[in-house]
Amino acid sequence: MKPIRKIAFVINEDKDGAHEVARTLIAAARKAGVKLKQTGRFPIPRGYLSDCDACCVVGGDGTLLGVAREAARAKVPIIGVNRGSLGFLTTFSADEARNHFDELLQGHFHVDHRAMLDCSTGPGSHDLALNDVLIKDQVNSRIVRLEVYADREPVTTYTCDGLIFSTATGSTAYNLSAGGPIIHPDAGVIAMTPICPHTLSNRAIIFRQEVKLRVINRTEDSRLLVAMDGQRDLKVGMDSPIDITVSKLRLPLAQREDYSHFSVVRTKLKWGGELVNKPGPLR
Amino acid at 65: L
How does DSSP assign the chain, residue by residue? -PPPSEEEEEE-TTSTTHHHHHHHHHHHHHHTT-EEEEES-SSPPTTTTTT-SEEEEEE-HHHHHHHHHHHHHHT--EEEEE-SSS-SS--B-HHHHHHHHHHHHTT-SEEEEEEEEEEEEETTEEEEESSEEEEEESSTT--EEEEEEETTEEEEEEEESEEEEE-SGGGGTHHHHTTPPP--TTS-EEEEEEES-SSTT---EEEETT--EEEEE--TT--EEEEETTTEEE---TT--EEEEEEEEEEEEEE-TT--HHHHHHHHTT-----SS------
Q: Catalytic: which of 61, 127, 132, 229?
A: 61
61 classed as catalytic: yes
CB 196 within 8 A of CB 81: no
- Active-site residues, by number, are 61
